[in-house]
Amino acid sequence: MRKLWAKIVGLGVIATLLLPEIVAAAGPKAAPLVIVADTRKFSGWEAWWTNLYNESHLYFALLTVVIIPVVGLIFGVLADLIMGHIGLDLKSRELAEH
Amino acid sequence: MDWLYVLMPIAGIKIFWPGLIILGIGVGIIGGFFGMGGAWMVTPGLNILGFPMAFAIGTDIAHMAGKSLISTMRHGKFGNVDYKLGIIMLVGTIVGFEIGAQMVMWLERIGQVEKYVRYLYLILLALIAWMVFADVAKKKRKEREAAAAGKEVDKLATGLDWAKTLHKIKIPPMVHFKEAQIYCSAWLPIFVSFMTGWLAGILGIGGGLIRMPALIYFVGCPTHVAVGTDLFEVMISGLYGTATYTYKGRTELVAAMIMLVGAAIGAQVGTVATKYIKGYGIRIAFGLCVIGCALSIILKMMAKWFPAYGGVYDGAATVLILGLVSGMSLYIFVRMMAGAKREIAAKKAKAQVSVAR
């Protein structure tokens, strides 16, 4: 009987979690402040980058989302190579809580 | 000294770039060690360097995504990342985060957001700090009792055992998480990640600060696996946050790249340091960080309650956060160097013994 109740309570919790729109938060959103980057001070890639920002936030965001993990990966691999040369075992560790 | 300042193309302000690298190193060390993004440290740090708050948040999230990727790669090699657990938790995290963010919009419309968010943050931090130190106290008691009985405590034994009780809930599907070494209902990590995501959405943070202890105390991960798996989650939620903030035009990628240079070094130091510090050492240091964070929020609140001394309290909060970041990073760095020296010395001694034979 206790197990049955536990299952019913558990299923009730799950049903609640599966209805994400329960929280009534619909409403008009405030318009965000628009920032325009000043391209006059830049040349070369900086000017291109600033112009891209002004022209299309969507492409700017897509490029940022691609660049961040790529640069992270490059730095991670470089750091891996450097740490490997130090002579530490970077593939295993002892698991212990105390 | 002009060469020490870089003009940011989007924000249009000059920033002291060595400060960005130092901040990146410090937060990289702490993030790699504790499994956090570190928004509560970086955002005020960027604000101090001169970024407007919206840019500080967006730039921090962008750098956090890259830094977490670097840390996850390193933790993954140690076997600290349970990818299956991380992916299952993503579902709950994203749904919970969106609900939390929508609740903030609702609280903002009724003019109650500041009050509720600050108090909720304080209550949460107090609860986390209590959990950590109650766990440490209970574990020490178990060790004393075992020593008195002439026995030894298991290497993976912990103080608080709530996760063991939660693992008894057998709602299908039941899943085995290999790296975390747990067998439980899939709904447990989904529920835990939903709650942590919801809290993160309301508080406007990445969630590592909440998710790491939740993985330990409610899901039952060993500390190192909680750190690594949490970083995996932070990486993905960081990318999602980067997309959102960049689309709103509040990310300075140049600053994020400069910080990543420092974070790449810091993340390696912090992650490798987890090799030389046992799980409870990490937990105690985490608990101290949480207390420091709570104190800085109290100081910020006092700045509002006593506007005549607002500057003093605000300054004290800043000094506390930066002091905490510097102190903690230095401690982790020193422990890592000491551990690395011991390991290399042991390797050399072993090599000499083999040659002698």
pTM equals 0.77
Using the beta-carbon criterion (under 8 Å), do B78 and A90 form an inter-chain contact?
yes
Using the beta-carbon criterion (under 8 Å), do A17 and B194 form an inter-chain contact?
yes
Using the beta-carbon criterion (under 8 Å), do A93 and B343 form an inter-chain contact?
no
Q: Which of B333, B42, B57, B93 is nearest to B236 (CA)?
A: B93
Residue B305 has a pLDDT of 84
Banded pLDDT at A77 (limits 50, 70, 90): confident
How large is the angle between the packed helices B310-356 and B279-305, nearest 10 degrees? 170
Q: Touching check for A66 and chain B: CB below 8 Å?
A: no
Residues of B numbered 282-321 whose beta carbons fall under 8 angstroms of chain A's beta carbons: which are they? none
Residues of A in contact with B194 (CB under 8 A): 17
Residues of B in contact with A95 (CB under 8 A): 155-156, 222, 224-225, 279
Partner residue opposite A68 with nearest CB, options B66, B92, B106: B66
Q: Which of B143, B182, B142, B179 is nearest to B163 (CA)?
A: B182
Q: Within chain B, where are the H helices? A: 17-34, 39-49, 53-78, 83-109, 113-148, 162-166, 187-203, 208-214, 223-247, 253-276, 279-305, 310-356
Model confidence at B94: pLDDT above 70: yes
- Residue-wise pLDDT for B289-314, tens only, equals 888 888 888 888 888 888 888 888 88
Residue B123 vs residue A16, higher pLDDT: B123
Q: How many CB pairs under 8 A join A and B?
A: 175
Please give the Cα distance from B141 to B160 (Å, whole number): 11
Model confidence at B151: pLDDT above 70: yes
Structure tokens at B100: 């939390």
CB B286 within 8 A of CB B226: no
Please give the Cα distance from B26 to B323 (Å, whole number): 11
Please give the Cα distance from B91 to B297 (Å, whole number): 30
- Residue-wise pLDDT for B24-39, tens only, equals 888 889 888 888 777 7
Identify the closest residue of chain A to B92 by CA–CA distance.
A17
Using the beta-carbon criterion (under 8 Å), do B272 and A20 form an inter-chain contact?
no
- Residue-wise pLDDT for A55-76, tens only, equals 888 999 999 999 998 988 888 8
Please give the Cα distance from B178 to B329 (Å, whole number): 31
- Mutate one of A55, A64, A97 to test the B interface: name it (highest B CB count within 10 A): A97
Could you tell me which residues come within 8 angstroms of residue B171 by beta carbon, excluding any fewer than 6 positions away? A7, A10, A11, A14, B185, B187
Rounded to the nearest angstrom, the gap between the alpha carbon of residue B125 and the centroid of all alpha carbons in its chain is 13
Element (H, E) at B16: strand B14-16
Rg of chain B taking only CA atoms, in angstroms: 21
Shortest Cα distance, chain A CAs vs residue B70, angstroms: 5
Least confident of A29-33, B45-49, B93-97, B203-207: A29-33
Residue A95 has a pLDDT of 55
Using the beta-carbon criterion (under 8 Å), do B10 and A37 form an inter-chain contact?
yes
